[in-house]
Amino acid sequence: MPSLILLMIAGAAVFAYWNAARAAAEHAKQLGRDACAAAQVMWLDESVHAAGIRVRRSENGRLGFERSFRFEYSYDGVDRHIGRMVLRGEKLVSFIGPAKPSATPINLH
């Protein structure tokens, strides 16, 4: 009987990990899509790829997972650039990718 209980606990832990990983990937996908739309670039492959995971402490000191994702985007449909983001829980803690286009006035005086 104890082995059945341990098996159920292990199964629940695996399911919880898988569910949290899927939720993080969906959140990263939405962030990548929104960043590309804001920067007016093409989001290639319409997906993000898990690039790494590690255990980190959050601001409140609790242990949790920090997941890294990468995605690809293009300015003209020919070039490919890699964007990266890091999520700690559901919080975006790092983002490298397309930037919103802006114009800076030049002062000639």
- pLDDT value of position 103: 65
- Look at residues 70, 89, 82, 93 and name the one whose alpha carbon lies nearest to residue 24: 89
- Taking the C-alpha atoms of residue 52 and residue 49, their distance in angstroms, rounded to an integer, is 9
pTM equals: 0.79
Amino acid 106: pLDDT:
73
What pLDDT is stored for residue 101 in this prediction? Answer: 66
Distance from the first to the final alpha carbon of the chain:
84
Q: Using 70 as the pLDDT threshold, list the residues of the chain that sit under it.
A: 1-2, 101-104, 109
Q: Phi then psi for 50, rounded to 5 degrees?
A: -65, 130
